[in-house]
């Protein structure tokens, strides 16, 4: 098995979409439309509405955390702040973190969640989200993986990952211009952000991904 869908599958789905008005179809994926194989996907999606679903802002994320459990579980503000730093409002990881925290609070018969509880839950979230984190990693090119690992290592050592430091960390195995181009692609992917400081450091958008990469480097 190649792990790829045969052409006939896409033709069959297109037939169903066009011929059966009684069914509403919603296709969701992690890849941008431009990254999909045209021969397979564009015929299926040519008449569809496209929406890019990004990360939740602070207000929406806080509502997702608090409102479903507001009658019996309270999150203090420091816990909310830490949850946002870990997940950056990523819907999947935020929901996974909430699941772990609510399950643990129910088991321990607690009615509150503190920042310390978030710290404890982090490792379980990494384990439960392993498949998704691994898929995100495998979507990166070898150069992107190399540079992202360098950003993680520098951040963990207390350094601010600027372009010169990242290149130095890679022992000049990659030219400075190449590193800069790779960083730009990682910013476009949403994997890292450029800090708004004079040193133009690069920071992980998703703190959980940084922790996962650091743990993976030790395997």
1: in domain: no
Q: What is the per-residue pLDDT for 47? A: 66
CATH of the domain at 63: 1.10.8
Q: Are residues 35 and 13 in the same domain?
A: yes
Q: What is the per-residue pLDDT for 105? A: 96
Residue with tokens 């476009």: 188
Q: What is the per-residue pLDDT for 170? A: 87
Q: Are residues 148 and 117 in the same domain?
A: no
Q: What is the per-residue pLDDT for 198? A: 58
Q: Are residues 34 and 63 in the same domain?
A: no
CATH of the domain at 201: 1.10.10.10
37: in domain: yes
149: in domain: yes
Q: Are residues 30 and 83 in the same domain?
A: no
Q: What is the per-residue pLDDT for 108? A: 95
Q: What is the per-residue pLDDT for 219? A: 46
Report the number of distinct structural domains present in the chain.
Answer: 3
Instruction: Render pLDDT for 187-202 as a digit per residue (tens, 0 to 9).
Output: 888 889 887 665 678 8
115: in domain: yes
Q: Are residues 161 and 196 in the same domain?
A: yes
Its domain, for residue 123, covers 58-128
The residues of the chain scoring below 50 in pLDDT are 1, 219
Q: What is the per-residue pLDDT for 1? A: 41
């Amino acid at each position: 098995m190649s792990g790829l869908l045969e052409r006939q599958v896409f033709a069959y789905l297109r037939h169903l979409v066009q011929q059966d008005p009684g069914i509403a179809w919603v296709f969701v994926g992690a890849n941008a439309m431009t990254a999909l194989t045209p021969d397979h996907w564009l015929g299926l999606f040519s008449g569809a509405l496209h929406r890019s679903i990004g990360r939740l802002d602070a207000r929406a994320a806080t509502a997702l955390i608090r409102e479903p459990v507001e009658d019996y579980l309270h999150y203090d503000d420091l816990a909310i702040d830490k949850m946002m730093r870990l997940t950056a409002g990523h819907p999947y990881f935020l929901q996974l973190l909430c699941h772990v925290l609510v399950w643990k609070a129910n088991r321990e018969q607690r009615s509150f969640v503190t920042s310390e509880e978030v710290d404890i839950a982090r490792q379980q979230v990494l384990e439960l989200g392993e498949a998704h984190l691994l898929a995100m990693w495998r979507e990166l090119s070898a150069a992107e993986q190399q540079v992202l690992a360098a950003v993680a290592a520098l951040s963990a050592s207390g350094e601010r990952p600027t372009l010169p430091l990242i290149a130095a960390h890679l022992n000049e195995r990659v030219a400075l211009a190449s590193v800069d181009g790779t960083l730009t692609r990682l910013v476009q992917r949403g994997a890292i952000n450029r800090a708004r400081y004079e040193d133009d450091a690069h920071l992980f958008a998703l703190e959980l991904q940084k922790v996962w990469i650091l743990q993976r480097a030790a395997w």
